[in-house]
A and B are shown apart, each in its own frame.
Chain A
Amino acid sequence: MTKVAESMPPKGGFSFDLCKRNEMLAQKGLKQPGFLKTGTTIVGLVFKDGVILGADTRATEGPIVADKNCEKIHYMAPNIYCCGAGTAADTEAVTDMVSSQLKLHRFHTGRESRVVTALSLLKSHLFSYQGHVSAALVLGGVDVTGPHLHTIYPHGSTDTLPFATMGSGSLAAMAIFESQYREGMTRDEGVKLVAEAICSGIFNDLGSGSNVDVCVITKGKQEYLRNYMSPNPRTYVSAKGYTFSKKTEVLLTKITPLKELVEVIEGGDAMEE
């Protein structure tokens, strides 16, 4: 590494200077922050006529539940939806951005968006940020070429799968899928399996909880079933609100005003008297 190379002007593209700094700090003993799978269970599966996506609804801020009923299944196009795990801001921003890019593309081409278009846009964005945009996505949809299901990892790699799970509850959900998935399931069987997998994540993973959201996408139709299952209701709710049963007898009612009301009338001229 000669002095001449270092004084050249930056050429554009990704600048790796900070990576060199990070390596130097790591050698000096700085502990690098690890990759965090923040609390979530998201799943997708391909069934006979299309794709079913599922997600839990808990958003966590460290050990605290920040949102008990958030929406993790994001709209990308009328025929494409995307579940997001990882940093909530990153998943929201990246799915919103690609959703508007897809809309512009639809205006430009006059055709229905394809799932692989969304896939390529998402993966090239995430790759260029080298994993710092912490978004792990399950992308599913039905287009002219058929039903598709993909997973996208924060560093930009993708997989095409018949069934997929992501997030901290992914192992619990994957255990259900691996033991019960079959090809060519009907819609009801598929929704039941997705709900079971999300419930497995909700009840066995501390980072996932609350309700189950399901989204069924078929050719020409999508059903967004918000809060398809609510297996964690409030345990004790009083239907009457706060009323106390009148058990004690009233013997005497006396109303004592706390203060005498004195009316002060302004007016009158000081110079009059």
Chain B
Amino acid sequence: MNFADSASAMKNLLGSEGDSQRTLYPYVTGTSVVAIKYKDGILIAADMGGSYGSTLRYKTVERLKPVGKHSVIGASGEISDFQEIMRYLDELILYDNMWDDGNSLGPKEVHNYLTRVMYNRRNKFNPLWNSLVLGGVKNGQKYLGTVSMIGVQYEDSHVATGFGNHLARPILRDEWHENLTYEEGVKLLEKCMRVLLYRDRSAVNKLQIAKITEEGFTISQPYSLKTFWDFAAFKNPTVGAEGSW
């Protein structure tokens, strides 16, 4: 009897039966985002895939977007929630511009705003199903932070979302150092994205890299990485043992 009571109480707590307005599971998702600080600013990389469950449905999804004058946001997770977040941010930047006071929201401020939005949605049991990366430069100060769908936020010299945490962070912990040049930074990011392409099933070989410096931002045109599949064991795995697998 106790179980039935607590079950119905829980249902009331979470909204009525016909309430299908809360995000329960993600549908169209983007995979990892990887970002690093380098000498002149921030570099963020993300591929352009939008998966619908286990199908790679959309292959030209822009997951890196500029925010105001000083920052770029990268998102993984539910794409529709990312589009909603962009609407919130557009409104935020618009109101900031309307003040016309010569000041503009920097990456630290935008990151804080996103953290509050994500955490408050999580408290209402209606999260925005995203892991976000926010990077930017303002007044010479480089800033790189991340927020998850439950509102966990932190700031670091290199961040990643999703699978990037398991596959890219170990490489970055070993090989990142202060004062990477632009070329070294891009090479390092491409190394991480290549490993993700090999080992993450929802990755696609079409990526963009965004660069933010004091001067402004550029988001590259989409391009693909070179891959290597010519290992002898891949070509002939059963040499010496015919009939096995």
Which residues of A are at the interface with B, using a C-beta cutoff of 8 A? 46, 114-116, 119-120, 143, 145-146, 148-149, 158-162, 171-172, 174-176, 178-179, 183, 196, 200, 203-204
Contacts and interface: CB of A to CB of B under 8 A. Distances in A.
B31 to A, nearest CB: 14
A120 B244 contact: yes
A204 B168 CA distance: 11
A116 B239 CA distance: 11
A203 B195 contact: no
A183 B232 contact: yes
Interface of B: 163, 166-171, 173-174, 191-192, 194-195, 198-199, 231-234, 237-241, 244-245
Nearest to B237: A160
Given A176-B170, A176-B171, A178-B198, A148 B240 contact: yes
A200 B233 contact: no
Listed from nearest, the 4 A-B pairs whose CB atoms lie closest are A145-B240, A160-B237, A171-B166, A116-B241
Contact of A183 (B171, B191, B231): B231
A115 B241 CA distance: 9
A140 to B, nearest CB: 12
Contact of B233 (A46, A119, A145, A203): A46
A159 B238 CA distance: 10
Given A159-B237, A172-B170, 4 more contacts: A148-B240, A171-B167, A175-B170, A200-B170
Contact of A145 (B173, B174, B198, B241): B241
Contacts of A171: 163, 166-167, 170, 199
Question: In the complex, which of the residues B167, B234, B240, B245 has the most CB atoms of chain A within 10 Å of its own CB atom?
Answer: B240
Contacts of B239: 145-146
24 contacts: A115-B241, A116-B244, A145-B240, A146-B240, A158-B245, A160-B233, A160-B237, A160-B238, A160-B244, A162-B232, A162-B234, A171-B166, A172-B170, A174-B167, A174-B195, A175-B166, A175-B167, A175-B195, A176-B171, A178-B198, A200-B170, A203-B170, A203-B173, A204-B173
Given A146-B239, A175-B168, A162 B233 contact: yes
Contacts of B192: 175
A80 to B, nearest CB: 13
Contacts of B234: 162
A203 B192 CA distance: 18
A179 B194 CA distance: 8
A172 B191 CA distance: 14
Nearest to A203: B173
Contacts of B238: 160
Contacts of B194: 178-179
Given A162-B232, A174-B167, A204-B173, A148 B241 contact: yes
Nearest to A179: B191
A204 B170 contact: yes
Contacts of B169: 204
Nearest to B243: A116
A122 to B, nearest CB: 12
Question: In the complex, which of the residues B163, B194, B237 has the most CB atoms of chain A within 10 Å of its own CB atom?
Answer: B237
A204 B245 CA distance: 32
Contacts of A143: 240
Nearest to A149: B233
Contacts of B233: 46, 149, 160-162
A46 B244 CA distance: 18
Nearest to A177: B195
A159 B237 CA distance: 9
A116 B240 contact: yes
A120 B245 CA distance: 10
A162 B231 contact: yes
Nearest to A116: B241
A127 to B, nearest CB: 13
B199 to A, nearest CB: 6
Nearest to B240: A145
Contacts of B174: 176, 196, 200
Contacts of A160: 233, 237-238, 244-245
